[in-house]
Structure 1
Amino acid sequence: MMHSAQHWLEKIRALPLPERVRLMNVCGGHERSISMAGLRKALPGQIELIPGPGCPVCVCPEQDIYQAIHLALNEDIVLLSFGDMLRVPVNVSKKAIRSLEQAKAAGADVRPIASPLEAVKIARAEPHKTVVFFVAGFETTCAPVAGMIAEGMPDNLLLLMSGRLTWPAVSMLLESEQPGFDALIAPGHVSTVMGSEEWQFVVDKHQIPAAIAGFTPESLLAATYSVLRQLIENRPFLDNCYPEVVKPNGNPKAKALLAQTLAVVDAPWRGIGVIPASGFELKPDYDSHNARLRFPDASSQAREHVGEMPPGCDCARVVLGKIKPLDCRIYGTACTPRTPVGPCMVSDEGACRIWWASGMRKETAQVVPMD
């Protein structure tokens, strides 16, 4: 029998909590559930819920977006991308075309899609066109893309891969001098694909409590209670609070498809730098579908702020859990969902966009740095 959110809140409130405890939730979907359900206000004040690096749009390399824009504008192609990517700006002058959305407005054939199946359908419907699918996303996005590759793609469908793995970013944080959190709420969807054991390193290597959560307030609060008890009892372990979906070995078929079609490579994360073994790239067997090999890379290193967040934007520090969205210098002023400066205000999984949508404004909240 599943316990209610109220049950878990009462159990959490009964715990002998330390003066301050910081819990990082990696997943953008978790952050959305936490914010929309008002869990921060419901939990005891000692508990800080810190959004982490769980927004693939936010960390997608700036130079990859620039290349996608360049291809859309200068090559005779159809450029496909998941919808959130269309509004993410690159670091060029304000007079230049800065996003795929602007490229589309300028006449480029840019189309938002929701699944790899749409990419295959479009390529088959227009066999005389070269179709480039710009793939940004984590394991849950890359698994169906791997399935599409393995099934056999139309000859005219190319991929510009910008897929990323989630756990290396958490590992990088834990191996830094100041991780910034005391326990981890691990992502449910990624764990569904990769398996609960993906997060065992958090406990084994770093002795930090961890619990995998689903997306309901009940599951998130159960995971919160679990890691708090682990901290209090000094008994870290990996708890699976989403057992109805997350299994020890994950989805073996999805993992096999990923291993068959995609290589794991060192990869840049926007505003953060290169994280070892954190990116997905097409294996050599699929070179004929690799857009990077078909078209020259337009990402000139001479451009100002190549690979960085836009000037003035603190999105990288938000992604790493170093500051809250409210601490960003331009949150709610220069940067709003209507006029986003950084990717954290663009994506539905970006912490800044989520906080804004849930009514968090600087004038109504106390700004407390998390450094």
Structure 2
Amino acid sequence: MDNARAWLDKIHAFEFDRPIKIMNVCGGHERSITHAGMRGALPKWLELVPGPGCPVCVCPEEDVYQAIRLALHDKVILVAFGDMLRVPVNVKKGEVRSLAEAQAAGADIRPIASPIDARRIAQDNPDRPVVFFAAGFETTTAPTAAMLAEGIPDNLSILLSGRLTWPAVAMLLDSGSPGFDALVAPGHVSTVMGPEEWSFVIDRHEIPAAVAGFGTESLLASFYSVLRQLKTGERFLDNCYREVAHPGGNPTGRRLLDHTLEVVDANWRGIGIIPNSGYALRPAFAQHDARLLFPDHTDPGRRRAGEMPPGCDCAQVVLGKIYPNQCRIYGKACTPRNPVGPCMVSDEGACRIWWAGGVRVAVDA
């Protein structure tokens, strides 16, 4: 706590003649910031902007729809990380709009916490096809890659919806109007991929950046670092999570990702295609690729397929263009009990985090 107070004092000692916006990419960072009441302790001129670090929020709507249809019509055991079960899709009123509703309608859908659970369920049910709907960023995709490399039961296939974190930030920076002055990069992704993956923020855009962990001290240290860079004109990637995030990341994890998966252009819900931002199974693992093994349930007649639901501004929240409570339906039509958009579903979604942190009233954007 003493160190946290020291970092706060150093931050308050800065003087800026304009508002400063720091984007914190990771949903875990946003949860730590909000639950610790950090915004209230920081200077009024400093704004912390939630970024695109919620894999549930950006998972393509058509992938969730495919998972629902597989579970309902192909009679598979579908397993997915728990947050995915309540993500809504865009269908006509009265139709099944989430995996949880499909489960209630009789589909065999089981929430899991780890890819190991998917393998165990497949081993326990050798006569039934099991599909693992694997949505996530590098930190959850790496264990899936490891499971593939080790070998999995013949009846287990992967519906992969993996994404890389940095391309979304690169897209924002390349747009010319990123909406932030400095960046705090996710520590857990850096643990797998290496902190240097974020060097492009400095090298190509000359924007201060720091890698942070999830504790108060690490986050405050990263805020101080990027503010000092803004003040002095220095530009470097500061690693404020050195005890875990080492240069080069996790060599084994990176090797397994490269061995089993390839990087492809990928769709982000409500945002569109971002080049080189997704993972797909390599041809050598085609016998476990659910996209190849089962019918494609894409329905061209579905209105708004791939988009956010009507009135939902989740995409703007994910891109840091607005704050969660500036969404048109925040706290009105959309609440954690009845989520309309994916940002209100996941514990890493900024809307859900802000609601849990006590922000219950929407404001005009």
User: How would you bin the TM-score normalised by the shorter chain?
Assistant: over 0.9
Could you tell me whether the CA contact under 8 Å between 1:136 and 1:161 is conserved in 2? yes
CA distance in 2, matches of 1:362, 1:161: 36
Which SS does the other structure have where 1:240 is aligned?
strand
Which SS does the other structure have where 2:52 is aligned?
coil
Tell me what 1:66 maps to: 65
Q: What are the equivalent positions in structure 2 for 1:18-97 lying under 5 Å apart?
A: 18-97=17-96
CA distance in 2, matches of 1:340, 1:361: 14
Q: CA deviation at 1:177?
A: 2.7
Q: CA deviation at 1:362?
A: 2.0
Which SS does the other structure have where 1:169 is aligned?
helix
Tell me what 2:307 maps to: 308
CA distance in 2, matches of 1:352, 1:169: 19
Q: Deviations over 1:217-236 (max 9, x none)?
A: 11100000000000111111
Residue ranges of structure 2 left out of the alignment (5+ in a row): none
Amino acid paired to 2:173: L
Q: Deviations over 1:124-177 (max 9, x none)?
A: 111000000000000000000000000001000000000000000000000013
Tell me what 1:285 maps to: 284
Q: CA deviation at 1:300?
A: 1.5
CA distance in 1, matches of 2:80, 2:186: 24
Residue ranges of structure 1 left out of the alignment (5+ in a row): none
Tell me what 1:116 maps to: 115
Q: What are the equivalent positions in structure 2 for 1:1-371 lying under 5 Å apart?
A: 4-362=3-361, 367=363, 369=365
Which SS does the other structure have where 2:204 is aligned?
helix
Amino acid paired to 1:260: H
Which SS does the other structure have where 2:267 is aligned?
strand
Amino acid paired to 1:314: D
CA distance in 1, matches of 2:36, 2:323: 18
Q: CA deviation at 1:93?
A: 1.4
Amino acid paired to 1:121: R
With normalisation by structure 2, the TM-score equals: 0.99
Which SS does the other structure have where 1:80 is aligned?
strand
CA distance in 2, matches of 1:243, 1:3: 20
CA distance in 2, matches of 1:237, 1:104: 49
CA distance in 1, matches of 2:299, 2:72: 16
Q: CA deviation at 1:76?
A: 2.1
- How many residues align? The count is 365
Report runs of 4+ in structure 1 exceeding 4 Å deviation.
none
Amino acid paired to 1:50: V
Could you tell me whether the CA contact under 8 Å between 1:184 and 1:210 is conserved in 2? yes
CA distance in 2, matches of 1:80, 1:141: 14
Q: CA deviation at 1:301?
A: 2.4
Amino acid paired to 2:205: H
Which SS does the other structure have where 1:267 is aligned?
strand
Q: Deviations over 1:70-114 (max 9, x none)?
A: 000001210000000000000001200000000000000000000
**Once the two structures are aligned, what percentage of the paired residues are identical?**
66
CA distance in 1, matches of 2:364, 2:63: 34
CA distance in 1, matches of 2:300, 2:177: 31
CA distance in 1, matches of 2:324, 2:316: 9
Which SS does the other structure have where 2:53 is aligned?
coil
Q: CA deviation at 1:200?
A: 0.2
CA distance in 1, matches of 2:84, 2:142: 19
Amino acid paired to 1:194: M
Amino acid paired to 1:283: R
CA RMSD of aligned residues (A): 1.0
Which SS does the other structure have where 1:206 is aligned?
coil
Q: CA deviation at 1:302?
A: 2.0
Could you tell me whether the CA contact under 8 Å between 1:3 and 1:218 is conserved in 2? no
Q: Deviations over 1:179-236 (max 9, x none)?
A: 1000000000000000011100000000000000010111100000000000111111
Amino acid paired to 2:213: G
Amino acid paired to 2:118: A
Which SS does the other structure have where 2:262 is aligned?
strand
